[in-house]
Structure 1
């Protein structure tokens, strides 16, 4: 499938990063955290599920845990301790809900020394509704010319530019609006030559806190570049503008870390090399249909220690995908219960991209 021409509006990644890192940031370089909010009604600051959270702060503050609390109906804040990095990095969120709720990130910011991620969730039709969700945040400042790669960006529609980005190979990260609500992304040199390998995740970002969700319409490779088309929708299923985050990882965890975690996997419906398990290898994960629009994705031997999952829909139209319930460990395997919806919140078939990681 051919993607539409790019509107090139983003600067070289290497020019972006030095301006945001300095001596005060040195202790939080290459930071990340993930968490699961199972009860979106708890007061701030309640410790979140300790079996499904971890982060880079654990190396220096092992007794601390991610915390969270309800701000207002449908709005929840998560605090990752000791890894504050202003508005840098990116955040992803996946609803954990079987009734078609969807979530977006409002913003992320530092309250020294912690990192706060603010999330809004809505029911079909756009009404703010308390909803469980999984959330992650990562910030990279180092580069590593290895066989595994990672790149991310935070795109702001009003300015038609990427406001922060990173590429593990210091390649360019480009994005631009091709039409209202449709965006083209190009990540230079992070793909595998002539193979559609790796995993893409996308999350809507809405500082105005209006109903939005974004998805991957399509992605492909061109040489070793990754090309992706992102489309965003409002509560009526109409294509409309939105800020968003996008990340790509190949041969490493969705957290972007080059070392730990080393137990991770990602899955795509029909691209063999985009089905990867760090323990069992390429093609090592499986999917089965439970009912129309509902799937079980199984990651063999990855259900160890604290774990995390993100899911996004791929394809045309306003369909979107969630986790129907928190993922489970079956022996040493991990199982994701994925469910996809049409704009009205009815289950419907969809291609999916799912990312899973352990803390180790």
Structure 2
């Protein structure tokens, strides 16, 4: 507890200049987005990815086009979202692995009119290994009208590379120690209760094994304070680039209506407004356990609509991490997300996590 209190005190030192738009204009968020499931990480470049688990904003103008991808090397896979290329935004990746494999982003960039991104995955211990995963990318600008809020940070080797806050109030933050970072997302929360959902993903351009989780989070008035801790293959805290995002009463993509079928849950319990589903409301998502120890089943009522995606991030004071055990399924109108968590050695281990799910409609 003393260590966590010290972290809170250190936040004052690292949260200096606030990054945000100077004169924000009213605008819908997100500007562009795409998501996909890579359920076969060995297909050649550029194979059309699973069409039941992908969508993007390009579909409005190019309805016949699909996200594609293919294997570049062992554990390395390239994804292409057509027609929506831009150098900004944020990416999240969640492995689909029962064996404890984990994944990171190497980079994302426009290539002509397209957005391409490379993902690298590893076995426990750090050996590169072909791994299924789910991935999303989104970019936003301007101020978003209610309901809800959305913010993200791309953190690089020397500080914040890119950031967004739908309230127009900006973000601030930086390192606390080796592999330890704190950020304040201004005005995105609720003043009375902890609310919303966080996700984090490691970025490692040279492909060395890295992963990040949410160490702790809290509210400071309407501000959200988030601590991101990152680790290497040995479970040691390691300086790492990463993305961090927050969403409340909106999708992880940052948009609302559409999509209007989405939900999120923090498994520490029905705390504040951290278990939310649109359209069914507060505390309607259900989290249960299943064998083996460390496995959880999250049911999102009424969200099994059209094309969908899911992301998971561990909330841990150690190097533990969480994956999808398999692609999500449907039970009638409900979406069922199967999650499993691991210690650094890849042993099944119970852990608190953030789960988020959205349809494209």
Normalising by the smaller structure, the TM-score range is over 0.9
Distance (whole Å) between structure 2 residues aligned to residue 257 and residue 218 of structure 1: 25
Question: Offset at 1:207?
Answer: 1.2
1:198-255, Cα deviation, whole Å (9 max, x unpaired) = 0000000111211100000011111000001110000000011100000000001111
2:10 alignment partner in structure 1: 5
1:163 alignment partner in structure 2: 161
1:11-69, Cα deviation, whole Å (9 max, x unpaired) = 42215999xxxxxxxxx970000000000000010000000000111111111100000
2:289 alignment partner in structure 1: 289
Q: TM-score normalised to the size of structure 2? A: 0.94
Q: Single out whichever of 8-17 and 59-68 deviates more from structure 2.
A: 8-17
Question: Offset at 1:143?
Answer: 1.4
2:302 alignment partner in structure 1: 301
2:200 alignment partner in structure 1: 202
Specify the SS of the correspondent of 2:199.
strand
Tell me, which stretches of 5 or more residues in structure 2 are unaligned? none
1:23 alignment partner in structure 2: none
Alpha carbon RMSD of aligned pairs, Å? 1.7
Contact 1:194 1:222 in 2 (8 A): no
Distance (whole Å) between structure 2 residues aligned to residue 191 and residue 173 of structure 1: 13
In the TM superposition, 1:1-360 aligns within 5 A as 2=5, 3-6=8-11, 7-8=14-15, 11-14=18-21, 30-86=31-87, 88-156=88-156, 158-159=157-158, 161-269=159-267, 270=269, 271-291=271-291, 292-360=293-361
1:71-127, Cα deviation, whole Å (9 max, x unpaired) = 1000000000110012x0000000000000000000000001000111000000000
Question: Offset at 1:310?
Answer: 0.1
1:21 alignment partner in structure 2: none
Distance (whole Å) between structure 2 residues aligned to residue 35 and residue 153 of structure 1: 21
Distance (whole Å) between structure 2 residues aligned to residue 55 and residue 246 of structure 1: 21
1:280-325, Cα deviation, whole Å (9 max, x unpaired) = 1000100111021000000010011000000000020010000000
Contact 2:213 2:228 in 1 (8 A): yes
Contact 1:30 1:142 in 2 (8 A): no
Distance (whole Å) between structure 1 residues aligned to residue 60 and residue 30 of structure 2: 13
Specify the SS of the correspondent of 1:5.
helix
Question: Offset at 1:172?
Answer: 1.9
Distance (whole Å) between structure 2 residues aligned to residue 15 and residue 78 of structure 1: 34
Question: Offset at 1:142?
Answer: 2.5
Contact 2:263 2:300 in 1 (8 A): yes
Distance (whole Å) between structure 2 residues aligned to residue 339 and residue 332 of structure 1: 23
Distance (whole Å) between structure 2 residues aligned to residue 198 and residue 38 of structure 1: 29
Distance (whole Å) between structure 1 residues aligned to residue 334 and residue 139 of structure 2: 29
Q: Single out whichever of 272-281 and 2-11 deviates more from structure 2.
A: 2-11
Distance (whole Å) between structure 2 residues aligned to residue 229 and residue 177 of structure 1: 10
Question: Offset at 1:331?
Answer: 0.8
Q: Which runs of 4+ in 1 moved over 3 A?
A: 15-18
Question: Offset at 1:259?
Answer: 2.9
Q: How many residues align?
A: 349
Q: TM-score normalised to the size of structure 1? A: 0.94
